[in-house]
Amino acid sequence: MSKKLLFLSAALLLGLIAVGKPALAADFKSGDAVSITQTDKLSGDLYAASNNLTVDANLPGDAFLAGSMVRVTGKTAQSLHVAGSIVTVSGEVGHALRVVGSQVMISGTIDGDVMAAGGVVQILPGTVIKGDLYLGAGSAVIDGKILGSVKIAGTDTTFRAEAGKDVQIMAQKLTLGAQTKIAGKLFYQAPNEATIAQGSTVTGGIEYKKVEKQQSTKAVPVKADKVTGLALIWFLGILITNLILAYVGWYFFKQRVLDITNQVLNNFARQMGWGFVWLVVVPIACVVLLITLVGIPFSFFFLMVYVLAISLAKVLASVVLGSWLIKLITKKGMNGNGKGWPVDWKVILLGVIVMSLLMLIPVLGWIACFVFFLAALGGIMTAAKAIAK
């Protein structure tokens, strides 16, 4: 494997997740049902994935959690990142909270910003958010206290919280409860004026912009902060989608994924070269075949194989990256003997998260992702060629 080809990704990774940390200590948990309690000794960041995940322990570092049902009641010293179907966060968070799910319930105290997206999102009474709140939901109910600014995009939004700064809301329906206390200004966009309960207060005044429903598909100017909030919601959605695709592929084709990953990382430069060849040559070959009537069926066949390989390579690239990172961190490979490259749930979780973060870095991050994508594509096409023989 060429270390020069991997150096860029290593540097970017360290800059993203290891700045200011003396070591890359981490704990990994997985299973159909996982319960992490105060008796579990955790040494650093937590990476956990399960169908039913419960975290009651106090976490000393960052936490990255994924599952169908995720419940967090313990204290997280750093940032908490959660993706799942039904997500409940009721513990303290020492830094930022990032959460996406079908149903999301948040309570407790969050010392940093909160970014949440889901079908139904509830910020429960008693919640204290010391930073800003960015929220996107089909149905949103916001109680508690937010010291920073608030930016919400939702269909049906009920706001009953105390806000220390300005509040911006885009909704089809907006209701302000009697408990609402906004120290700054309220700016909202909706087809109809908000329902404002008696007793609610908005110190900075209210500015309303009527937005017709039939105009919702037209391009309208938006401010940078709104774009940032929507982009973050989009990022969380892409992250959970890629995570699901990677887990599904690994679940059904474990041995095949393991074989290709080891093949790629044992011959990284060669597979990257083959990936580049396949990326360029196949489309040209398909065009050439289209010129001849006899070659048209073959052209469509190779084109379908090409599109499928590209899609698979995007997913496998995260697995390859995660496998390399895990071995780099743990200094061990398969069965803990330092031989081979590991592929399991924590490899997938780490790989997808880091790959998603790298994609946010212009130029350098894109180059790093493209390098792993080419290597994964080369591995897939090499495996397909061997099967065809």
Q: What is the pLDDT of residue 84?
A: 72
Joined tokens for residue 346: 């924590």
Burial of 105 per CB tally in 10 Å (0-12, 13-18, 19+): buried
What is the phi/psi pair of residue 155, to 5°? -80, -55
d(CA 3, CA 26): 24
The pLDDT, as a whole number, for residue 133 is: 93
- DSSP of 190-224, one letter per residue? ESS--EE-TT-EETT-EEEEE--GGGTTS-----H
> Is residue 313 within a helix (H) or strand (E), and if so which, with residue range?
helix 296-330
Buried b (16+ CB within 10 A) or exposed e, 372-382: bbbbbbbbbbb
Spatial separation of the C-alpha atoms in residues 330 and 132, rounded to whole Å = 36
What's the pLDDT score for residue 296? 60
Q: How many CB atoms lie within 10 A of CB 256?
A: 14
What local confidence, expressed as pLDDT, does residue 115 receive? 85
DSSP code of residue 174: E
pLDDT recorded at residue 347: 84
DSSP 159: E
Task: Give average pLDDT by consecutive 10-residue segment, the chain, 389 residues.
Answer: 36 36 59 83 78 88 81 92 85 89 90 87 95 89 95 90 94 93 94 92 92 53 48 62 72 83 89 84 68 59 72 87 84 56 82 84 85 90 75
Q: Which of 282, 283, 309 is nearest to 378 (CA)?
A: 309
Question: How crowded is the C-beta side of 355, counted as CA atoms within 13 Å?
Answer: 30
Rounded CA separation 140/119 (Å)? 8
Cα dist. 43→54, 61, 225, 340 in Å?
18, 8, 37, 26
Look-up: residue for tokens 């967090």? 72
What pLDDT score does 12 carry? 35
- Cβ–Cβ < 8 Å for 108, 89: yes
pLDDT at residue 128, rounded to an integer: 96
Tally of CB atoms within 10 A around 348: 27
| Burial class for 7, CB neighbours closer than 10 Å (0-12, 13-18, 19+) | exposed
